[in-house]
Amino acid sequence: MRVYYLFKINDSFSKLYYNKTYYLYKMLEEISKSSKNDFIISYRLFEQMATAYDKTKINSMIYKKFMDDENYNKILNKHILDDGVEKTKLTVYNTYIKIKTNQNISAFFKILSNEENVFVCDFNNKDYFWLNKAVRKSLV
């Protein structure tokens, strides 16, 4: 099972770290592991790096793409896709999107690749990538 966190990185950080993905990943990993004592500092750093998602827009975009699929279900900010091969739950939060899936590449990735500067982290498997690059590779 893979658990992906998708962050919308702001333009300046995106330009600075586009080819230095390891460093961007390590910063996000440290922020995600930060203790309650370091919460304010970590949150301020995160605010400088990332921008919030438009939850309404993202939810609407995903729903419109999958609404006719009988294997798709939506409850508030949660989107579930279970077609027998792929079992994926996507949850939209203000500052990130969480995708829990049994696949390496989720069907949701293609839709979300329309968003700019989306950086994907799988902290458990130490995997990270820019979403637009991954989608292009999987389509070739």
Domain ranges of the chain: 2-139
Q: What is the pLDDT of residue 34?
A: 85
Q: What is the pLDDT of residue 56?
A: 95
Q: What is the pLDDT of residue 112?
A: 93
Q: What is the pLDDT of residue 139?
A: 45
Q: How far is CA 101 from CA 43, 56, 132, in A?
A: 27, 22, 19
Q: What is the pLDDT of residue 125?
A: 95
Averaged over successive runs of 10 residues, the pLDDT of the chain (140 residues) comes to: 96 94 95 84 91 95 94 95 94 97 92 92 96 61
Helix, strand, coil tally for the chain in percent (to 5): 45, 30, 30
CATH of domain 2-139: 3.30.310.250
Q: Going by C-beta distance under 8 Å and a sequence separation of 6 or more, which residues neighbour residue 60? A: none
